[in-house]
Amino acid sequence: MGGAHAHDFSIAEIGQDVQAESITCSRFRLRGGGPGNTDGVDRSMEGAGMRRNQFMILACIFAFASARTANAADPEVIVNLRRLGVHIPAGKTPDDIERVGLSGSALDDESLKWIALLHNLRDLAILGGSGNLQGRIQGPGLKHLSDLHQLEILSLSGMDMTDAIFGYIAVLPNLTTVTLHKIQGVSGKNIGPLRRLPKLRRISFTVVSLSESVDFSVLPECLAELIVGAVPIGDASVVTLVKLPHL
């Protein structure tokens, strides 16, 4: 690449055939080789030296941050988000959106990859209404939401899922509220992963096909409110509630 030797540290190593006259990074300056100088780069430092891998890490971080910003404002991203029903006002980007409510036939597991690009989303509701999402969103698509580290409120309604949903939800560290309404196929016997959510305060199960013997004691101790509506639960489940100190 550009004549650089394997043992040299040149600008070409972090970009294809890139030659820079000067790159300044804090107190570390690199001078790139011109057409007649391909043996390496001159370095001048005021303090201790910076290792090659340190500079490479900085370059990679900068490239990743730039790519993420570009992805958020990419026209294709905006078109697909609007197709799913996300309102993005003129002059705004997906990173400005903090609250979204979705419903409609355009939604399915795969489409949730676009929602994952709303990096600052705090409140997400996916509503199936009278069941128009049943069979379309079955849970695996929720894996796409794992990058929504700011998400605090998640509401899901009118879907067919399994208990695997709890594992998908448990990777969202800032969740405080989870609402499941008219979710078919969820027994609640494997709700243990929710214990990994350190900020979870409220869970609502309404018209959900829970088993009559759900062990609620595996929920986070920080839980302050548990709503179970139109769901038959047995005495064995009720007994486990006493192990949640903040209810």
Assign 71 a pLDDT band (cuts: 50, 70, 90): low
pLDDT of res. 66:
45
Closest to 158 in 3D by CA, of 179, 134, 186, 178: 134
Rounded to the nearest integer, the mean pLDDT of the chain is 77
Q: How far apart are CA 7 and CA 90, in angstroms?
A: 51
DSSP for residue 141: G
Closest to 208 in 3D by CA, of 190, 226, 225, 232: 232
| 30-39, 101-110, 209-218: least confident range | 30-39
Q: How far apart are CA 131 and CA 82, in angstroms?
A: 22
Q: Which residues of 106-138 are buried (b: 16+ CB within 10 A; e: fewer)?
A: ebeeebbebbbbbbebbebbbbbeeeebbebbb
Report the alpha-carbon angle 38-41-45, nearest 5.
170
Closest to 176 in 3D by CA, of 204, 196, 203, 143: 203
User: Per residue in 6-20, pLDDT tens?
Assistant: 433 332 333 333 333
- Residue 176 pLDDT > 90: yes
User: Per residue in 99-154, pLDDT tens?
Assistant: 999 987 788 889 999 999 999 999 999 987 554 566 678 888 899 999 999 999 99
Other Cβ atoms less than 10 A from the Cβ of 57: the count is 11
- Residue 27 pLDDT > 70: no
